[in-house]
């Protein structure tokens, strides 16, 4: 009945959910199990063990499911065993005693804290079962029907693990030197030559075999079955591979009615997979797109390894028949820009905008600080911030992302300029040196876009209004900020909240990257602005009925009042910094070059 510790499914036993709810786990789980077997002598020297790799620095709840269904186990003390969690004794278990009889399932929950030790990002949780001595039980055995492991969020409601460490590239090996002084060298050379010939033949045979398998694989892919890829150039076991027939079915053969977005890369289609159970967004790279295979691979490699509540989730990809297609979770509320201007959608409230800014800032903060290295997004803009059905912000589009230094914080990466006009960091344009502060600059532009609800570059506007960042700076200097704020928001923003928001936006846009705040600072300031807004609304419920801002002189942050701090980095007091933008003419010249 028991073979190699696996108990076969016992469909004859009726599962009685006397102590638990039926939705706790399906009957099939309780109708089979893993055990040590009935060999009492051997069992006493071994454990039944599971090793579960997890992110360190979090707490976990391990839930063990038990149900006795073997006919030999009928009464209390027939089978007793110990449960050890991470080599610590949790408790001794008698399933019949705890449940009340055979066929009655129970579960036991254990809290485990996994500390980060020695810089280890991943550690194992061990779960071991050990039978009690033969003197205290009828059958010296242990059994387990199922395991569930729940990751508990940190105090800051964060479930995200660290960023993946970049793969190290092994240095090229030096070719071995040979000497002809040894009289046996001719024999050695002949052996090497003959071995080389055999090696070439083996490689040729292997090449033909791989080509044959690939051809078969392409034919099989046309049958419409999705798989997980094991190709060396793509992440293993992390990303689902879709066939072209699946993609065509999901999009109704790329029906134009399903197009929900168009960009330089091509079109985004709304679709359904898994027999219509899952809505997805399908990005199809067009043949004439400036993006190519490199950006396609970058996005797969980045997103398949990153997990964060404020990053968009990649479900899979398709690269069959010369197509390059990415499949994401569908975001019901589209992009942030869809709700700011150029749309018939209802405008977002100020608190909604603050919460969206906070969420997207947290996503960027995770990219910048999730591990020893930095991931620089390089294309932060309002169309790359997506909103799900609950208006939770998700940073998207990692095709231009770059991996930063693994050892030097804030280190620059030399690279050609890529990004979107209006959001580009002027220091990046000048020096071709990319840092995470380039993302900070771009996010500062997004903050202004959120406040003003207009394009970041508008060639139809007057000359002094073409560039949003320049216009906002000019209006703050002239104390005419009310001219650029979204009319829908007039009278709805608490003055101190506006002051804090404008202050952090301007600091993001400072001329030199070293003067700009980190994304952690940005998150803190935005959260403080939200608290100020909530406090003002609680104290004055009719804040939304006020026509304009009560204390206009108090809303302008010191950053705009001409206080020139010439040190290398700003001096901060509380939540406000006193500094200026630097040379505005230089910034204008650089931006106008593109």
Residue 149 has pLDDT above 70, yes or no: yes
Mean pLDDT, range 542-550, rounded to an integer: 49
Residue 1 has pLDDT above 70, yes or no: no
Token pair 């197009």 in the structure block, residue: 259
Residue 220 has pLDDT above 70, yes or no: no
Q: In CATH terms, is domain 240-329 a member of 3.30.200.20? A: yes
Mean pLDDT, range 324-353, rounded to an integer: 94
Q: What is the pLDDT of residue 121?
A: 79
Q: What is the pLDDT of residue 570?
A: 35
Task: Kindly indicate the confidence band of residue 135, based on its pLDDT and cuts at 50, 70 and 90.
Answer: low
Residue 104 has pLDDT above 90, yes or no: yes
DSSP 334: -
Strand partners, 397: none
CA distance 125 to 130: 16
Do residues 289 and 264 lie in contact, with contact meaning Cβ atoms separated by under 8 Å? yes
Mean pLDDT, range 172-183, rounded to an integer: 45
Task: Kindly indicate the confidence band of residue 306, based on its pLDDT and cuts at 50, 70 and 90.
Answer: confident
Residues making up the binding site for ATP: 283
Q: What is the pLDDT of residue 374?
A: 81
Do residues 550 and 474 lie in contact, with contact meaning Cβ atoms separated by under 8 Å? no
Angle made by CA atoms 305, 323, 264, in degrees to the nearest 5? 80
Mean pLDDT, range 234-249, rounded to an integer: 79
Token pair 């095709």 in the structure block, residue: 399
407 contact partners, CB below 8 Å, separation of at least 6: 372
**E-only strand ranges, 211-277:** 227-228, 240-241, 259-263, 266-273
Which of these ranges, 252-261, 290-299, 526-535, has the smallest mean pLDDT?
Answer: 290-299
Residue 134 has pLDDT above 70, yes or no: no
Is the model more confident about 36 or about 547? 36
Mean pLDDT, range 423-437, rounded to an integer: 89
Reading across the β-sheet that carries 122-131, which strands appear in turn? 48-55, 122-131, 81-85, 88-93
Residue 157 has pLDDT above 90, yes or no: no
Is the model more confident about 46 or about 230? 46
Q: What is the pLDDT of residue 539?
A: 86
Mean pLDDT, range 433-462, rounded to an integer: 93
351 contact partners, CB below 8 Å, separation of at least 6: 530, 533, 534
Cα 293 to its chain centre, rounded Å, is 21
User: What is the chain's mean pLDDT, rounded?
Assistant: 78
DSSP 311: B
The DSSP code sequence of 487-502 is: GGGTT-S-HHHHHHHH
Residue 447 has pLDDT above 60, yes or no: yes
Residue 492 has pLDDT above 80, yes or no: yes
Range among 161-175, 389-403, 412-426, 498-512 rated most confident: 498-512
Residue 402 has pLDDT above 60, yes or no: yes
Residue 510 has pLDDT above 80, yes or no: yes
Residue 209 has pLDDT above 70, yes or no: no
Tokens of 444: 């500062």
CA distance 427 to 583: 12
Single out the residue of 484, 436, 429 nearest to residue 461, CA to CA.
484
Do residues 517 and 507 lie in contact, with contact meaning Cβ atoms separated by under 8 Å? yes
Helix locations, 222-312, DSSP H: 244-250, 293-303
Mean pLDDT, range 101-128, rounded to an integer: 88
344 contact partners, CB below 8 Å, separation of at least 6: none
pTM of the entire predicted model: 0.60
Q: What is the pLDDT of residue 297?
A: 82
Token pair 């073409």 in the structure block, residue: 466
CA distance 352 to 484: 19
Q: What is the pLDDT of residue 42?
A: 72
Residue 273 has pLDDT above 80, yes or no: yes
Q: What is the pLDDT of residue 291?
A: 60
Residues taking part in catalysis: 379
Residue 176 has pLDDT above 70, yes or no: no
Is the model more confident about 414 or about 360? 360
Is beta strand 240-241 parallel, antiparallel or unpaired with respect to 314-318?
parallel
Q: What is the pLDDT of residue 354?
A: 98
90: phi then psi, degrees, rounded to nearest 5: -90, -55
Cα 557 to its chain centre, rounded Å, is 34
Percent of the chain with pLDDT over 70: 71
Residues making up the binding site: 283
- Topology given in CATH for the domain delimited by 6-152: Jelly Rolls (2.60.120)
Residue 396 has pLDDT above 80, yes or no: yes
Is the model more confident about 67 or about 553? 67
Percent of the chain with pLDDT over 90: 43
Mean pLDDT, range 506-512, rounded to an integer: 93
CA distance 52 to 85: 11
Is the model more confident about 149 or about 45? 149
Residue 216: which H helix or E strand, with range? helix 185-221
Tokens of 527: 């959260």
Show me where the domains of the chain are located. Answer: 6-152, 240-329, 337-592
Q: What is the pLDDT of residue 407?
A: 46
Q: How many Cα atoms within 13 Å fall on the side-chain side of residue 582?
A: 20
Mean pLDDT, range 318-347, rounded to an integer: 91
Q: What is the pLDDT of residue 504?
A: 96
Mean pLDDT, range 176-202, rounded to an integer: 47
Is the model more confident about 7 or about 389? 389
Helix then strand then coil, in percent of the chain rounded to 5, is 35, 20, 45
How far apart, in Å, are the Cα atoms of 224 and each of 252, 259, 513? Answer: 14, 22, 49
Residue 521 has pLDDT above 50, yes or no: yes
Single out the residue of 113, 96, 118 nearest to residue 105, CA to CA.
96
Say how many C-beta atoms besides its own lie within 10 A of residue 214's C-beta: 10
- Tell me which CATH homologous superfamily contains domain 337-592: Transferase(Phosphotransferase) domain 1 (1.10.510.10)
Q: What is the pLDDT of residue 165?
A: 59
The DSSP code sequence of 392-458 is: -EEE---TT-EE--SSSTT--EE----S-TTT--HHHHHH-EE-HHHHHHHHHHHHHHHHH-S-SB-
CA distance 226 to 229: 9
């Amino acid at each position: 009945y028991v073979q190699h510790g696996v108990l076969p499914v016992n469909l004859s036993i009726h599962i009685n959910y006397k102590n638990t709810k039926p939705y706790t786990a399906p009957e099939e789980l309780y109708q089979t199990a893993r055990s040590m077997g009935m060999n009492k002598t051997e069992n006493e020297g071994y454990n039944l063990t599971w090793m579960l790799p997890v992110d360190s620095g979090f707490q976990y709840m391990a839930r063990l499911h038990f149900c006795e269904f073997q006919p030999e186990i009928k009464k209390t003390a027939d089978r007793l065993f110990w449960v050890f969690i991470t080599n610590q004794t949790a408790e001794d278990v008698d399933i019949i005693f705890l449940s009340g009889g055979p066929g009655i399932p129970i579960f036991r929950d254990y809290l485990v804290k996994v500390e980060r030790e020695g810089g280890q990002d991943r550690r194992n949780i061990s779960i071991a079962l050990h039978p009690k001595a033969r003197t205290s039980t009828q059958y010296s055995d242990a059994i387990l029907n199922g395991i569930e492991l729940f990751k508990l969020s940190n105090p800051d409601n964060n479930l995200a693990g660290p960023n993946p460490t970049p793969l190290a590239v092994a240095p090229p090996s030096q070719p071995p030197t040979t000497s002809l002084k040894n009289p046996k060298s001719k024999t050695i050379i002949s052996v090497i030559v003959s071995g080389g010939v055999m090696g070439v033949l083996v490689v040729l045979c292997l090449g033909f075999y791989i080509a044959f398998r690939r051809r078969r694989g392409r034919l099989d892919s046309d049958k419409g079955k999705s798989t997980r890829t094991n190709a060396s150039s793509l992440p293993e076991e992390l990303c689902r591979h879709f066939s072209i027939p699946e993609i065509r079915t999901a999009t109704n053969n790329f029906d134009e009615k399903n197009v929900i977005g168009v960009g330089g890369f091509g079109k985004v289609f709304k679709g359904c997979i898994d027999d219509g159970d899952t809505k997805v967004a399908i990005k199809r790279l067009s043949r004439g797109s400036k993006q190519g295979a490199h950006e396609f691979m970058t996005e797969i490699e980045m997103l398949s390894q990153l997990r964060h509540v404020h990053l968009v989730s990649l479900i899979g990809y398709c690269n069959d028949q010369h197509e390059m297609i990415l499949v994401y979770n569908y975001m019901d509320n589209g992009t942030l820009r869809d709700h700011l201007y150029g749309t018939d959608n209802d405008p977002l409230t100020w608190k909604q905008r603050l919460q969206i800014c906070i969420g997207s800032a947290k996503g960027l903060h995770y990219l910048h600080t999730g591990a020893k290295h930095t991931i620089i997004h390089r294309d932060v803009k309002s169309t790359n911030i997506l909103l799900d059905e609950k208006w939770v912000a998700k940073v998207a589009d990692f095709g231009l992302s770059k991996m930063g230094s693994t050892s030097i914080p804030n280190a620059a990466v030399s690279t050609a300029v890529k990004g979107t006009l209006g959001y580009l960091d002027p220091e990046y344009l000048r020096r071709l040196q990319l840092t995470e502060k380039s993302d900070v600059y771009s996010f500062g532009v997004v903050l202004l876009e959120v406040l003003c609800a207009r394009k970041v570059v508008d060639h139809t506007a007057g000359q002094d209004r073409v560039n949003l960042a320049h216009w906002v700076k000019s209006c703050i200097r002239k104390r005419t900020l009310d001219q650029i704020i979204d009319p829908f928001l007039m009278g709805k923003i608490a003055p101190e909240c506006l002051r804090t928001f404008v202050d952090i936006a301007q600091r993001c846009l400072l001329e030199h990257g070293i003067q700009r705040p980190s994304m952690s600072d940005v998150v803190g300031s935005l959260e403080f602005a939200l608290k100020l807004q909530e406090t003002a609304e609680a104290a004055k419920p009719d804040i939304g009925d006020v026509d304009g801002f009560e204390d206009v002189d108090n809303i302008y942050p010191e950053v705009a009042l001409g206080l020139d701090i010439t040190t290398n980095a700003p001096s901060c007091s509380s939540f406000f910094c006193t500094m200026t933008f630097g040379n505005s003419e230089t910034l204008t010249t650089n931006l106008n070059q593109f």
